[in-house]
Amino acid sequence: MGWLAHRSGRLSTAALVGVSTLLVTTVGAGAAPHHAPPAGVPSASTARQPALTRQLPAPPPPPVRKPTANPRVVKRTDAPAPLPSLAQLRSTSTVPSAAGSNAAPGASAAQRTLVLYDTTGQWGWLGEAYAVEAANLVSHGSAYVLHPVATYTAGELANYTGAVYVGSTYDEPLPLAFLDDVLSGSRPVLWMNDNIWQLTQRAANFSTQYGWNWVQFDFGNSTTVTYNNVALQRDPLAAPSGLLQTQVVDATRATVLATASGGSGGTMPWAIRGGNLTYVGEIPFSYVGPSDRYFAAADLTSQLANPATPSRKRALVRIEDVGADADPADLRAVADYLYSQRVPFTVAVISQYLDPNGVNNNGVPVSTSLAQAPDVASALRYMRARGGTLLMHGYTHQYSNVANPYDAVSADDFEFYLAHIDDANNVIYDGPVPEDSASWAQNRVNSSKLNFLMAGLPAATIFEPPHYAASAVDYTVFAANFGVRYDRGLYFGGWCPAGACGTGTPNYAEIYGQYFPYLVRDIYGSAVVPEDLGNVEPEPFNNHPPRLPADILASAAAAAVVRDGVQSFFYHPYLGTAYLQQIVTGIKGMGYQFVSAATVAAG
């Protein structure tokens, strides 16, 4: 499961699994930076490719089709219900805005984290991307400031309770003041990957002070990272980027927090801690799949941001893609089961069903609002009475009358981003729609709000972008209207120049995605309720293998390494309730309690 980004700037999905999909961004053979390492630094002169991969949310496949002559789906009528007043369309967010803070609700007000990153070299833009991912994770625990390490000023670290440095450019020239402030030992620092050799060289005697040191880069195929006694996956594609091997030289001063194994190098430390320094021997934001060692990094990051992170064990389930074409019996069955289990849930509502080319209706176009599908609207009210919360899953969940990428039918296609399928059956992310703008996105949100009202449904307070994709501008519109998303994030290079997110021009050729194992506030300003386990897909699609309850539960076992982690999956009601029961039972059996999205969003 991966997206390949070509130098042309477009992305292709090599394979997709549910929404837990890996973005693989390749940049051309032989294009990797080549460095002749100076004496005394780790050997990395061969195969030293930057880790250019990213987790991207994958579009769910087309839903299982009902018979095309679906009596619940009717043609557009010429008698729409009366329009509500504009006042009824204003922001419906119920979550307090975080004015003055980029921390997520529930973060420690006493903590403040500095996030530093590399900017030089051919792959400098990746530094910002990795740092954004680190910062998004940090937000769970504290507010943060993000900026290039090059602009670090002497003494700056003292203004924070801790720092994360992501070393992504081999031999980025690090300010000596930064090295000295880290070595002063006064603040905890989480250091990822490159340039640790600059720190060890700067120290009077690093091994004595910290009790560990680096050995060399390992390019063996270490595919397992064991953390908190749980085996996490490391994609073999990450191996060529190298894993900086470390070793404990004084067990009274240093501790191995996680080990890597499975490759030619045997078992070696993956994360190590001595004194104020925690070190991870790679960038754990590359080639991220389900059940990934990313969970270990997410745990280390949030505990750096807030050592007092609570140890709650909460779970979420979202019922997906419910529009006017849904089967009310399916909806009621799901609601009855979850209610019987005292499981609150969220329902992702598509308020306007469109099939503009009639591909499921014998060539006759279909457009049906929820108000025009009263039995579905009634079933949604039934779901609410059984513990369901309705969120806005876009407006039509498709775009125009074109395949984007499948068939222009609601729930199949992207709404706020363009995509197509290439010759190798990969979904390619092409970029924003031609008319993309804040007003265009706002109009769609307004139209969906109208549909909720006309169907007699309460205003949604949470937004989920269809297929987890939108332009940067669209994301800011969602943040302004709702304050809370419930998804995986999609991000673009250039949005955070010098660490100031929202001040730059997004480069849609530099695209990357991220899922979260806990509540964050992402760089678009929304609190983001996590979805980290994906969904059941009985059939393969777009080069993704099937994903069954056992796979969801395996990912849950991996996510369990995260303190305060939320086990969160989504589910299509047309699958019936058997798979749903397996997952709910399994997650409960791991000691997690299902709660509402609002509970998680409150921090």
CA–CA distance from 217 to each of 47, 397, 462 (Å)? 11, 46, 45
Task: Kindly tell me which of 321 and 325 has the beta carbon lying closer to Zn ion.
Answer: 321
C-beta nearest to Zn ion: residue: 321
Cβ closest to Zn ion, residue 104 vs residue 419: 419
Which positions ≥6 away from 536 have C-beta within 8 Å?
18, 547, 548, 549, 552, 571, 572, 575, 579, 583
CB of 397 to Zn ion, least distance (A): 6
DSSP per-residue letters across 284-353: TTSS--TTBTHHHHHHHHHHHH-TT-----EEEEEEEEE-TTS-HHHHHHHHHHHHHTT--EEEEE-SEE
CA distance 201 to 189: 17
> Closest separation between CB of residue 489 and Zn ion, Å?
16
DSSP 140: T
* Closer residue to Zn ion (CB): 489 or 586: 489
Nearer to Zn ion, 321 or 330 (CB): 321
**Do residues 69 and 85 lie in contact, with contact meaning Cβ atoms separated by under 8 Å?**
no
Question: Of the two residues 274 and 534, which places its CB atom closer to Zn ion in the complex?
Answer: 534
Instruction: Provide the minimum distance between the beta carbon of 62 and Zn ion in the complex, in angstroms, as a whole number.
Output: 11
Least separation in angstroms between residue 242's CB and Zn ion is 37
Pick 212 or 353: Cβ nearer Zn ion: 353
Minimal distance in Å, beta carbon 416 to Zn ion? 12
Nearer to Zn ion, 379 or 501 (CB): 379
Smaller CB distance to Zn ion: residue 218 or 321?
321
Please, which of residues 300-329 interact with Zn ion by CB under 5 A? Answer: 321
Q: How far is the CB of 238 from Zn ion (least distance, A)?
A: 29
Q: At closest approach, how far in Å is the CB of 468 from Zn ion?
A: 8
Number of chain residues interacting with Zn ion (CB under 5 A): 1
Q: In this structure, what is the dihedral angle of CA atoms 578, 579, 583, 584, given to the nearest 10 degrees?
A: -40
Q: What is the smallest separation between the CB atom of 60 and Zn ion, expressed in angstroms?
A: 6
CA torsion through residues 413, 419, 422, 426, sign:
negative
Q: How far is the CB of 127 from Zn ion (least distance, A)?
A: 32
User: Nearest distance from residue 406's CB to Zn ion, in Å?
Assistant: 12
Q: Which lies closer to Zn ion via its Cβ, residue 321 or residue 532?
A: 321
45: CB partners within 8 A, 6+ apart: 34, 35, 36, 37
Residue 156 near Zn ion by CB under 5 A: no
Mark 253-292 with x for binding to Zn ion (rule: CB under 5 A) and - for no binding.
Answer: ----------------------------------------
How far apart are alpha carbons 169 and 172 in whole angstroms?
Answer: 5
In angstroms, give the least distance from the CB of 321 to Zn ion.
4
Amino acid identity of residue 327, one-letter, is: D
Smallest separation, CB 69 to Zn ion (Å): 24
Nearer to Zn ion, 415 or 436 (CB): 415
DSSP 412-423: TS-SBSEEEE-T
Q: Write the secondary structure of 477-537 as one string of H (helix), E (strand) and C (coil).
A: HHHHHCCEEECCEEEEECCCHHHCCCCCCCEEEEEEEECCCCCEECCCCCEEECCCCCECE
For Zn ion, the closer of residues 321 and 474 by Cβ is: 321
C-beta closer to Zn ion: residue 171 or 321: 321
Structure tokens at 179: 């090295």
Kindly give, in sequence order, each residue whose CB lies less than 8 Å from that of residue 583, ignoring residues fewer than 6 positions away: 317, 536, 549, 552, 553, 569, 571
Consecutive H or E run containing 551: helix 549-559
Is the bond preceding 405 in cis, omega lying within 30 degrees of 0?
yes
Pick from 17, 189, 157, 44: which is nearest to 535 by CA?
17
Contact call for residues 471 and 506 (beta carbons, < 8 A)? yes
Contact 479, 524 (CB under 8 A): yes
Site for Zn ion in 10-29 (CB under 5 A): none
Half-sphere exposure of 180 (CA within 13 A, CB side): 8
Residues of span 450-509 touching Zn ion by CB under 5 A = none
Could you tell me how far CA 114 lies from the centroid of its own chain?
A: 21
CA distance 554 to 587: 10
Q: Where on the chain is the footprint of Zn ion (CB under 5 A)?
A: 321
